[in-house]
Structure 1
Amino acid sequence: MNLIHTFEAVQEASLQLLELTDKDINKILHAVADAAIEQTDFILSENLKDLDRMNPANPKYDRLKLTKERLQSIASDIRNVATLPSPLGRTLKENTLPNGLRIRRVSVPFGVIGIIYEARPNVSFDVFSLCLKSGNACILKGGSDADCSNRAIIHVIHQVLKHFQLNPHIVELLPATHEATAELLHANQYVDLLIPRGSSNLIQFVRQNATIPVIETGAGICHTYFDKEGDLQKGTAIINNAKTRRVSVCNALDCLIVHAKRLHDLPQLCAPLANSHVIICADAPAYAALQGNYPQELLKMATDQDFGTEFLDYKMSIKTCSSIEGALNHIQHYSSKHSECIVTENPTNAALFCRKVDAACVYVNAPTSFTDGAQFGLGAEIGISTQKLHARGPMALEEITTYKWIIEGNGQIRKP
C-alpha cells in the first residue's frame, strides 16, 4: 500500500483552506449539519452494517451505534462550532522594539492533522467540523468496526464540499487497515500533527511508533473520592451519573474511593447502581459493608487488576481509605491523569484535592461525566489530552492551532 499520493492531495487541499473566510467556513458547516439530517436514513443504514458485525454485549457497541437522535445532536454540535469565533488570525502577543521593528505572534492552522480512532463514527463529524473551523485539513484513520459508518459520513461531507466547489481532499478517510496506520505514523513530510483517540493500547502504540508530533488523548481511568465530610445525597447522584450515564466513554467512573468512616453509607451510595446491573469489585472493608445490601451476583472481591483499569462497561471497583491522603496516594498511583472527583463539604479538603491531584480535569461535587468539549462550551472536541505539552483536557479550536511570528520593518538592518 502506498498512500503518498493521498497525503500529497490532502496537503495541497490544506492550502485552499487558507483562502476561505470565516463566513465561508460557517456556511459549509451549516450545510454539513443539514446534510447529516437529510441523509439520516443513508448514514443509519450503513451504520447498521457495522452494528451487525459486532456483538451487542461488546462495550464498544454503544459507541459505534448511531441513532436519529444522536445524528441530530451531532448536527447541533456542528452548528455550535459555526457560531464560535474563529481561532485564526488572532494577535496573541505584540511588541514594537526600540529599533522600530513591530513583532506580532499570530494564530495559524497546523496545516494537516491526522486522527487515528476506533469504533466511534461521531468522531468523523466532530473532527471535520473542528478542523475546518480552524483552517486545518484532516486525514482520518478509523477502525474496521466502524468503516461503513465512517465512509458514509465522509461521502456526505464530500458532497457538500463539492457543492461549494472545494477540494474534497480537505478531509480524507484512509483504508481501515494496519498498513494504512503504519504509513500515517511516518507521513513526516505531509502531516503536521497526529492525535490518537481510543484504547490505551492504541494510544501507546501511536506514541511509541509515530515519527511525527503526537498529542496523547489518554485512557480515562477515573476516580471519585467520597470524603469523610461528603454529602450523601450529592454523592449518590454523582456516583450513579458518572458510572452509568454512558459506560463506554472515557469520562465514566472506574473506581470509587470511600473514607472508612463512611462505609456505613456505602449501601445507599451504591443502591442506584444495582438498577443498571453494575458489577462492583470491592476491597475487603467495602465488600463487608455491601454484603447483604447489594445484589450478591453483582458483588465481587476486588483483585489488584481491578484497580487502575478502564472498564468501559457496567463494572467498577471500590477502595477504602482512612484519610484524604490515602485517597490522594491511590489516585496518584492509578490515575491516567484524565478526570478525578472529590465529594466533600469541607473546603479545605476540596482545595487540597484540587491542588495535589495531577489530572487534566479535577472536580469538586460534580461527576466526571462532564469532561467533554461541548459541555465545556467548546462546541465539540477533537480529543481529551492527558499530557501537559501544548494542550491539556478537552481540545477544541484553540488547541488545534499554532502560531507564527510576523515581523514588520522599514529597512532596519541588524548590526554586527
Structure 2
Amino acid sequence: MLDVQNIRKDFPILNRTVNGKPLIYFDNAATSQTPQQVIDVIVDYYSNYNANIHRGVHSLSQEATDAYEQARIKIQKHFNAKHSYEIIYTAGTTHSINLVANGFSSLLKKGDEIIVSALEHHSNIVPWQMLCERTGASLKVIPMNENGELIMSAYDALLNDNTKLVFVNHISNALGTINPIEYIIEKAHQVGAAVLVDGAQSCPHLKPDVQALNVDFYVCSAHKICGPTGVGMLYGKEEWLNKLPPYQGGGEMIAEVSFEKTTYAALPHKFEAGTPNICGGIAFGAAIDYMNSIGFDNIAQYEHELLEYGTEQLQQIEGLKIYGTAKEKTSVISFNVSNIHPYDIGTILDKMGIAVRTGHHCAQPIMDFYKIPGTIRASFMFYNTKEEIDAFIVALKKAIMMLS
C-alpha cells in the first residue's frame, strides 16, 4: 500500500490554501500536480546546462543533448517501444494526433473510411474531421450506451475493407470509462486498418505496453503524469512513421538542404522540426521515473479504492446522478445534482478550496448523448485521500443547500 501522507510531501502545491481553505485538488484529469523531484530537474536544467541540443560541440550542448535523449530512452522503456526512435517528442497529445492526421492526408482517398468513438475528447475528433474534408474519406462513430461504454457489436458492424484508420481513447476523460482497446486493435487489424490510441487519461493510472497491445500509434501528454505542460509523446511503429511525411519543415528534421532539393532526417528527427522543449523532455523523463518509483500496481489499487469510496459517498446525496457507470473505470466521477447548473456548484466549491472541473470537458458529444449541458467532474490521483473526499462531500452538500 502507498504511504500517501509521505507522498503528499513531494507536492508543494498541496500545502497551499485557496480562499482561506486548504486546497483539495480534484481536477487531475485536466492536469496532475508536479512533485518536487520533477521541479528540481527543471530548475537544474535552467540553472546549470541550458543550451540547444544535437549539433553543439560545447559541453553544455552535449550535456543537454545527453539528458534529452536519455529521457527519450526512459519513455521508450516505460511504454516498451521496440526502438527509441519510435518515440517522437511533441507538444502534447493534441499535437501528436494532428501530426498523424496530417500524415495520413497523403494516404487516404475518397471512399476510405475512418472510425472514432462516441467517447472521444475533441482533440480526437476534430483532426479526423479535418482529414476527411481534405481527403474525401468518411467518418464513422462507435456508439455508446447509457453506462458510458462503447457498443462493440456496433463497432464490429462498422469495420469493413474500406476502413483504414481507427481512433479511440484508452480511457474517457469525461466519464473514466476504460475502453477495450485490445479488442478494438485486434479487430481493426483484421481488416488492415491502423489504430491510434489516445492515452492522455490512461497513462496516469496504468502502464501501457505498446508492443503487447500491438498498437500502431499511442499518444500522451507529460502534464497528466506529474510532468510539465507543453510536452508529450507520439509512439508510432517504425513502419508507419516511415510511411508518413514530415509534419513541419525546418531545422533538425533535415538531412541535407539545397535550393534544388531537401532530404529528410531519419527517425525520430524527421518529425521534430525546430528547437524542442528541451527542459520539458528531460522533465518528462523525470516524471516517468517518479511514477515508476511509486509503482503503477500500487497506484491502480489505491485509486480504485478512492473511486469506490467517492462513488459510495456521492450516491447517498439525494438528487445526485452519476454519468459513466462502466464496469471498467478509473478514478473519475462525473455527476450532476437535480436541476442545479454544474458551473454554480463548481464556483461555490472553489470558494471552499476545492478544485473540480465543470462543463463538457471537451467531450461535447457525450453531453449531447445524455442531453445535459455538462457535468461536475471529480478526478482523483494517488496523492488524494479519503479525508479529502469527506471534506468534498460536506462542501458539496453546503453548495446544494445554498443553490436549492
TM-score, scaled to structure 2: 0.23
Larger radius of gyration: 1
Higher relative contact order (CA 8 A, sep 6+): 2
TM-score, scaled to structure 1: 0.22
